[in-house]
Amino acid sequence: MVSSSDPSASSARDRIRDSALERFGRDGVNRVTIRAIAADAGVSPALVIHHFGSKESLRKACDAHVVALIRGGDDAAPDLTAMLESATPVRRYLARALLDGTSDAAALFDEIVELTADWLADGEREGWVRHSEQPHARAALYVTWLLAPLAFDTHLARVLGVADPHGIDATLRFAPVALDVFTHGIFTSDRELEAWRAVGKEHGSP
Amino acid sequence: MVSSSDPSASSARDRIRDSALERFGRDGVNRVTIRAIAADAGVSPALVIHHFGSKESLRKACDAHVVALIRGGDDAAPDLTAMLESATPVRRYLARALLDGTSDAAALFDEIVELTADWLADGEREGWVRHSEQPHARAALYVTWLLAPLAFDTHLARVLGVADPHGIDATLRFAPVALDVFTHGIFTSDRELEAWRAVGKEHGSP
DNA sequence: CTGCGGACTGAACATCTGTTTAGCATGACG
DNA sequence: CGTCATGCTAAACAGATGTTCAGTCCGCAG
């Protein structure tokens, strides 16, 4: 039917991978069947195995594809910005992969934290980022906080009353809220912070 | 063997529920088999069904149990603090339930956001919380940020080099980092914030 | 044309897994 | 003592699911 000389149609292999990406990200790997992926891609379940060998290999291929997309074609620098600007299925897949704890995703997470730490260190040197006593921990926390809305997207959408939490409208509306906290904080005084520090000291030398 | 008159041993029903709670939270519902739960509890798979009817009912029983624990016995007020002070398996289960999107967890999430919004509103009135242009969105975001370290616990543990991310030591070490951001922010100027606002206006009236 | 290699499929296979069923032990109650 | 409910189990069942197998179709090199 679809000849290989037709440039408009993507190859069956790519369609399978894209369908898997979509479903894996939306429902989680274990809830997705090869038959469902095959149906989405319009092929037989056997072809999925023919091209990828196994479901696990297919998942790894999705990992690799997403990592390649986020790392970008030219430079080898992954970036949270690049990630957050990726297409919705890609973002959802990555968030899901991080939550499921695949090894490729773990490596990517580590890389992103490193780059974020460097970025914050630059900002600190240049004066637009505040000093931190634990810069590495802060970078890691910052990354998880940027990922949090991705992980809890359905809950945020419901609570905030938006239809598509990944849409540009929702992003433009709620990104300033996060940025406001990142810029001015939430609490006006050191009261809570000092309370925690006191607990820590009390616990450290009893 | 274990007679019902022995008060030291918990009932098989409770052991099944606790085993399920533990495994569901650690691995996710789909990856856990009834046989594994039964083995953990030291009973037969059939007894799991005998007591709970089905795997789905067992999951709902876990939901209800966790919700009851977090809501507390006396007052009907769930609280993020109560949740974060819960035992590790309970916390992990709730985080997993929120990520999997069960209906009970969704209701609990909504409740927690409401209470957090009230709490922040109180703080704003009393002067220890900064003003927000979107207080409800800020409350929701705040909740997801407190949940984020739970969701990405394995990655944080790896990156920060701690063995048990849920332990008291890790909490005492890293909670001040979060609180520092919540108190002082990360960025020193409104530059990033203004940039976003500009994008929003540009997008809003092209 | 002939043969070959790769894309592709329908059907079957093997296994895993939630659930059912029939039955066993034990203690309570008449 | 009989029997009846209850907690519990072993074994089997049924459906889903990842994977294999044998074979078809088709473009193409020789």
Tens-digit pLDDT profile for residues A87-99: 788 888 988 999 8
Given this model, what pLDDT does residue A195 score?
76
Tell me if B130 sits within 8 A of B59, measured CB to CB. Answer: no
Given this model, what pLDDT does residue B4 score?
39
**What is the nearest nucleotide to B57, using C1' and CA?**
C18
C-alpha to C-alpha distance for A57 and B152, rounded to whole angstroms: 24
C-alpha to C-alpha distance for B116 and B126, rounded to whole angstroms: 15
pLDDT tens digits for B17-28?
999 999 999 999
Structure tokens at B154: 């394995």
Q: How confident is the model at residue A139 (pLDDT cuts 50, 70, 90)?
A: very high
Is the pLDDT reported for residue A177 higher than 90? Answer: yes
Given this model, what pLDDT does residue A84 score?
63
Given this model, what pLDDT does residue B5 score?
38
Structure tokens at A106: 């773990």
Is the pLDDT reported for residue B76 higher than 60? Answer: no
**What is the least distance, in Å, from the CA of B73 to any CA of chain A?**
26
* Overall average pLDDT of the A123-131 stretch: 94
- Sign of the dihedral defined by the CA atoms of residues A52, A57, A63, A64, in that order: negative
Residue A118: closest CA among A135, A130, A101 = A135
Average pLDDT, chain B: 86
The residue in chain B having the minimum alpha-carbon distance to the alpha carbon of residue A126 is: B188
* Overall average pLDDT of the A8-17 stretch: 84
* Overall average pLDDT of the B116-137 stretch: 94
Helices (H), B42-127: 45-52, 55-71, 80-85, 88-100, 103-126
* Overall average pLDDT of the A97-107 stretch: 88
- CB neighbourhood size of B15 (10 A): 17
Average pLDDT, chain A: 86
Structure tokens at A70: 């986020």
pLDDT tens digits for B167-176?
778 888 899 9
- Give how far Cα B118 sits from Cα of A66, B20, B111, B136, B156, Å: 40, 34, 11, 9, 30
Chain A residues in contact with B142 (beta carbon < 8 A): 181, 186
Rounded, the Å distance between the CA of A13 and C1' of D27 is: 18
Which residues on adjacent β-strands are paired with residue B187?
A129
Given this model, what pLDDT does residue B168 score?
79
Rounded, the Å distance between the CA of A44 and C1' of D24 is: 14
CB of residue A37 closer than 7 A to nucleic acid strand D? no
Given this model, what pLDDT does residue A108 score?
87
Tell me if B200 sits within 8 A of A172, measured CB to CB. Answer: yes
* Overall average pLDDT of the A184-191 stretch: 88
Structure tokens at B113: 């956001």
Residue A107 gets the label, from left (phi > 0), alpha (psi -120 to 50) or beta, of alpha
* Overall average pLDDT of the A155-172 stretch: 88
Q: How confident is the model at residue B100 (pLDDT cuts 50, 70, 90)?
A: confident
Which residues on adjacent β-strands are paired with residue A187?
B129
In the 8-state DSSP scheme, what is residue B3?
-
- CB neighbourhood size of A23 (10 A): 20
Is the pLDDT reported for residue B95 higher than 50? Answer: yes
CB of residue B46 closer than 7 A to nucleic acid strand D? yes
* Overall average pLDDT of the A127-154 stretch: 94
C-alpha to C-alpha distance for B86 and A156, rounded to whole angstroms: 23
Is the pLDDT reported for residue A68 higher than 60? Answer: yes
Residues in chain A: 206
Q: How confident is the model at residue B77 (pLDDT cuts 50, 70, 90)?
A: low
Chain B residues in contact with A147 (beta carbon < 8 A): 148, 152
Tell me if A56 sits within 8 A of A98, measured CB to CB. Answer: no
C-alpha to C-alpha distance for B168 and B172, rounded to whole angstroms: 6
Tell me if A158 sits within 8 A of B110, measured CB to CB. Answer: yes
- Sign of the dihedral defined by the CA atoms of residues B169, B172, B175, B176, in that order: negative
Give the percent of chain B with pLDDT over 90.
59
Given this model, what pLDDT does residue B85 score?
66
CB of residue A55 closer than 7 A to nucleic acid strand D? yes
Is the pLDDT reported for residue A33 higher than 90? Answer: yes
Given this model, what pLDDT does residue B17 score?
96
Given this model, what pLDDT does residue B145 score?
95
Structure tokens at A27: 């429902």
Rounded, the Å distance between the CA of B13 and C1' of D11 is: 23
- Sign of the dihedral defined by the CA atoms of residues A158, A162, A164, A165, in that order: negative
C-alpha to C-alpha distance for A73 and A93, rounded to whole angstroms: 19
Structure tokens at A139: 């970078």
Is the pLDDT reported for residue B2 higher than 70? Answer: no
Is the pLDDT reported for residue A185 higher than 80? Answer: yes
Q: How confident is the model at residue B3 (pLDDT cuts 50, 70, 90)?
A: very low
C-alpha to C-alpha distance for B44 and B55, rounded to whole angstroms: 14
What Rg do the C-alpha atoms of chain B give, in angstroms? 21
Look at A16 and B101; give whichever has higher pLDDT. A16
Residue A13: closest CA among A21, B44, A140 = A21
B15: enclosing H helix or E strand: helix B12-27
